[in-house]
Amino acid sequence: MTYTVAVRELCEFTAKQGDLDLRFTPAPTALEGMAGHALVAARRGPGYRSELSLSGDHENLHVRGRADGFDPALQRLEEVKTFKGRLDDQPASHRRLHWAQAKVYGWLMCRQEGLDELDVALVYLNIADQQETVVVEHCTATALRQHFEQQCERFLAWAERQLTHRRARDEALRSLAFPYGEFRTGQRPLAAAVYKAAMSKRCLLAQAPTGIGKTMGTLFPLLKALPTRPLDKIFFLAAKTSGRQPALDALDRIGAGAPDLPLRVLELVARDKACEHPDKACHGDSCPLAKGFYDRLPAARDAALPTSSGCVALSQAKVRDVALLHGVCPYYLSQELARWADVIVGDYNYYFDRGGLLHGLTQANHWRIGLLVDEAHNLVERGRRMYTAELTPQHLAQARRATAGGAFAAVRKALDKVRRCWVALDKEQAASYQVHAAFPGKLLAALQQCSSTITSHLADHPAEPGSPLLIFHFEALQLCRMAETLDTHSLVDVSKPPPRGTGSPKPGSSTLCIRNLVPAPFLGPRLAAATTSTLFSATLQPTHYYADLLGLPAGHVCVDVVSPFKADQLQVRIASHISTRYRHRRASLEPIVELMARQFAERPGNYLAFFSSYEYLQQVAELLALRHPHLPSWSQSRRMQETEQRQFLARFTETGKGVGLAVLGGAFAEGIDLPGRRLIGAFLSTLGLPQINPVNEQLRQRMEAMFGAGYDYAYLFPGLQKVVQAAGRVIREPSDRGVIHLIDDRFKRGEVKGLLPRWWMYAPS
């Protein structure tokens, strides 16, 4: 069995030494990097060959990669690196890594072309001034072969371990049995659909009701497909922190049922959750866990990935223990372990975000991956946020105050120019909200120049995490990057703050935004890069809405798993005599309160009541307490901390009685599990329709132009998706019984009922 490794992965394993050092991180955008490589190629002679696929073998190691360029006239192999800032500040460890890669490509080139010698060149292109710095070394084929074999020898022992692990893993997975013996009702067809999609290398959109065990029903079949398809890795992506635990629990259960299954499961967490020294910068002169990171990494890696059989669960706590024992950063250790894990559980952003770690590693190492996207209805809004960039006046003001000293003269000058352009733009805008056809050119140029100046400054004066200058710098970089990709999928808008008193807002106090409306052009290529993907949720209707906005690949398939629940388990009552429209809110308070009290008297127990806003919730809560003081109630508050959320849910006991009031779309509207008598009913005093405001009206207009269904895409579909999610809290298990009150006359409309679960049966309140 041959182990295949990318040149980059090989050299990062063998040639990285010394400190973890993020002070000099070449950070051109993807488009800048591509343009830089194209510029270098265009400057070469007519016979110049770029993007050469090269490969070679050493024992049972197959090394492959893509060299940047070869100039046959000069007989020179070039490795091109684009950068920003000053090249003099590049750490020696970075240069060693670049030489290691270049010389591996050099040998592969000599081998392919039958060359006895050639020049190997590192070409550093400064994005700011497009100047090249070329470092050349003349090498014989013999020396290059020795270098190549030396790198391979350093990697071979690990490759052998990987091959042994892969063989044992695949053999165990072929005979893996379902850990619960029998599938739940609905779970088997879901698992079958996931397996078929994997075997046919397709994308699956799976709507499956809550309570059938979707997590196990998707993980198990994809694990079974791992050796057969074959796949290298599985990424389980969750919308929220709470979504990771069910996946980790399911994998623990699988491991417990198969003690000899050598499966490596890694949990990825956000940097702010894993960082041991948030007040320190990521380099050896500041953080002790960055000092000598790569020197201590091999021992930490060996400890985290033992050769013994059985499931290796690399939870956040486990990775932290290993990291601190070996004196390395837990966050960056977990990123290194992602290269060797079989199943990785993390947030959406690790794969779908612009700089997503898992997508980058997949592309660099040519991994064949299976994606599982949990609660996929959330990916539309999350995708929009990932590809939206905002510039806030507060952060510019804080950055300017932080750069008052003489050492910041150039930076302060650049920030002041941004401020002047911003003020001029505000003076030209009379309305409080305005959409621009393109990002204002003068301001964009000032931001680009300012970012370049800050980059140069930070190379000499590294800023601590959370510094005002760094915060503004990241905002400006993100906005400049999104400006490069501006198209019909996004819009540029400027929002002024509301006036205070009689005065108008000061010029320069607006918020500038490149607002993504359709994430499909960004998410679609990520889905296409996966060998197979399954996006699953209890609410994925209508399917064309998600296909359009997420960019599902051509040939994707859809499955709607029949609910295991029966209509007699759930009473669905429509209170059609009540309107919850904004203009009718005050009139709706009393009938809603009386409906809740009547239902509670009919069947005492625990209920959830959902409202469209905190203000509406509070009005109902006050009237309920006034009219029915004997009826226990508790309310969700704004910005609830995790402890307060747990206290809110703790009221829902098997013997408890009362009504918890919450906001639709908030923390208690999805992702919580209250089976049995912990929750026996819900009141939904809203259709969940987003607020009508200038931004949502722009969204409606754009959706109408692109898909011909502006109101549905902007308001109806996302609103009712929240309703169904909230209603899904009531029936969680086959033995559950409950009631749902849909409070609004619009719930009787055919186009609304068509978006609600098919198994519901309706009766008047």
CA atoms within 13 A on the CB side of 115: 25
User: How large a percentage of the chain has pLDDT more than 70?
Assistant: 98
**pLDDT tens digits for range 96-133:** 999 999 999 999 999 999 999 999 999 999 887 889 99
Model confidence at 24, pLDDT cuts 50, 70, 90, reads low
502 pLDDT band (50/70/90 cuts)?
low
CB atoms within 10 A of CB 639: 5
The CA distance from 457 to 566, in Å, is 65
Crossing angle of helices 520-529 and 357-365, rounded to 10°? 50
Q: Which residues contact 358 (CB under 8 A, 6 or more apart)?
A: 235, 268, 338, 344, 346, 350, 351
pLDDT band at residue 284 using 50, 70 and 90 as cut-offs: confident
pLDDT at 8: 92
Instruction: Give Cα separations from 577 to 592, 595, 720, 723, 764 (angstroms).
Output: 10, 11, 19, 19, 10
pLDDT of residue 25 exceeding 70, the answer is no
765 or 594, which is more confident: 594
**pLDDT tens for each residue of 440-456:** 999 999 999 998 888 87
Which strand (E) or helix (H) includes residue 722?
Answer: helix 717-727
- Dihedrals φ, ψ of 727, to 5°? -65, -30
Please name which of 152, 162, 137 lies closest in space to residue 3, comparing C-alpha atoms.
162
Evaluate the CA torsion angle 724, 645, 677, 186 in order and state its sign.
Answer: positive
> Is residue 29 scored above 70 in pLDDT?
no
For every residue of 449-484, DSSP letters joined together read HHHHHHHHHHHHSPPPTT-HHHHHHHHHHHHHHHHH
Model pLDDT for residues 228-271, shown as the tens digit of each residue: 999 999 999 999 888 899 999 999 999 999 999 999 999 999 98
Q: To 10 degrees, what angle do helices 92-113 and 7-14 make?
A: 140
751 token code pair: 């186009």
Q: Would you state the pLDDT for residue 181?
A: 87
**In this predicted model, what pLDDT tens digit does every residue of 645-678 receive, in sequence order?**
999 999 999 999 999 999 998 989 988 889 899 9
Residue 511 has pLDDT above 60, yes or no: yes
In the chain, what are the domains? 3-156 (3.90.320.10), 389-518 (1.10.275.40), 567-764 (3.40.50.300)
Q: Can you give the pLDDT at residue 309? A: 77
What is the DSSP pairing of strand 570-574 with strand 738-742?
Answer: parallel
Report the run of H or E that residue 419 belongs to, with start and end. Answer: helix 409-428
Q: What is the pLDDT of residue 500?
A: 74
pLDDT at residue number 26: 45
Judged by average pLDDT, the poorest of 45-59, 454-468, 569-583, 692-706 is 454-468
At residue 283, the pLDDT reads: 84
Angle at 20 between CA 283 and CA 355, to 5 degrees: 100
CA triplet 224, 227, 229: central angle to 5 degrees? 90
DSSP readout, 220-266?
Answer: HHHHHHTTTTT-SEEEEEESSGGGHHHHHHHHHHHHHH-TT---EEE
Closest CA to 723 of 640, 608, 622: 608
Q: How confident is the model at residue 765 (pLDDT cuts 50, 70, 90)?
A: low
pLDDT value at 532 more than 90: yes
Q: Which residue has the tokens 């380099």?
A: 283
- Counting every residue written for the chain, the total comes to 765
Q: What is the pLDDT of residues 603-650, one digit of tens each?
A: 999 999 999 999 999 999 999 999 999 999 999 999 898 899 999 999
Closest to 59 (Cα-Cα) out of 139, 114, 4, 116: 4
Q: Average pLDDT of 359-374?
A: 94
In whole angstroms, give the CA distance from residue 288 to residue 291: 5
What does pLDDT average to over the chain? 93
Q: Mean pLDDT highest for which of 73-87, 312-326, 496-510?
A: 312-326
Cβ 41 vs Cβ 69: under 8 Å = yes
Q: Are 683 and 594 in contact (CB under 8 A)?
A: no
| Average pLDDT of span 171-183 | 94
